[in-house]
């Protein structure tokens, strides 16, 4: 199973690029980035709830819900901002540049979050190799989209 995980991760990344382009266009067609975002989230919510029903996962107890740290409920707000920005920026920048810059931002912040073990995730300390990789990533994306004016 572990050899399948990188392929699943790559396909998830590809799916995000495709859905971002589709949903950005939906926002253009509807005349509102946030309406497109809302429709996309509504459909995603429905599909997610259907999967939960078919998995027969059951609902958590009230005690379990109350035990969840308050800041974890804010992920939806961050998601709405991030996804809304994707749908706003893609028609202006194009899917390639937007995804490249967004992915770079994700990786930079992910490396920082991993270094500190934020959100009770495994700690992967920053080291010279990771810093060099980040610098090369940022330089590469910058070179790919460099435009002389």
Contact of 43 with 98, CB cutoff 8 Å:
no
- ∠ CA(118), CA(120), CA(126), 5° rounding? 45
Same domain, 117 and 140: yes
Share of the chain above pLDDT 70, in %: 98
pLDDT band at residue 1 under the 50/70/90 scheme: low
Considering the domain architecture, whether residues 88 and 98 belong to the same structural domain is answered as no
Q: What is the pLDDT of residue 142?
A: 86
Do 71 and 24 lie in a common domain? yes
105 and 67 fall within a common domain: no
Claim to verify: residue 50 and residue 102 sit in the same structural domain: no
pLDDT digits (tens, 9 = 90+) for 4-34: 887 887 888 888 878 888 888 999 999 998 9
**Listed residues 63, 92, 121: the one ending a domain:** 92
Domain count, the chain: 2
For residues 57 and 74, membership in a common domain is answered with: yes
What's the whole-model pTM score? Answer: 0.72
The whole-chain average pLDDT of the chain stands at 88
Q: What are phi and psi of 94, to 5 degrees?
A: 100, 155
pLDDT tens, residue by residue, 60-92: 899 999 999 988 888 888 888 888 888 899 999
Residues 6 and 17 both lie in one domain = yes
Quote the domain boundaries for residue 141.
94-148
Question: Which is nearest to 84 in space by CA: 34, 49, 132?
Answer: 34
Per-residue pLDDT, 149: 58
């Amino acid at each position: 199973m572990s050899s399948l995980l990188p392929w699943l991760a790559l396909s998830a990344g590809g799916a995000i690029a495709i859905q971002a382009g589709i949903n950005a266009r939906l926002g253009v067609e509807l005349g509102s980035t946030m309406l497109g975002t809302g429709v996309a989230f509504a459909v995603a919510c429905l599909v997610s709830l259907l999967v939960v029903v078919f998995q027969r996962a059951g609902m958590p107890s009230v005690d379990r819900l109350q035990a969840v740290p308050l800041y974890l409920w804010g992920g939806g707000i961050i998601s709405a901002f991030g996804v809304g920005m994707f749908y706003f920026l893609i028609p202006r920048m194009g899917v390639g540049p937007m995804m490249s810059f967004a992915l770079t931002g994700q990786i930079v912040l992910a490396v920082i979050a991993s270094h500190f073990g934020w959100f009770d995730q495994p700690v992967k300390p920053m080291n010279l190799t990771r810093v060099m990789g980040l610098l090369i990533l940022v330089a590469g994306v910058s070179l790919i989209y460099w435009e002389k004016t």
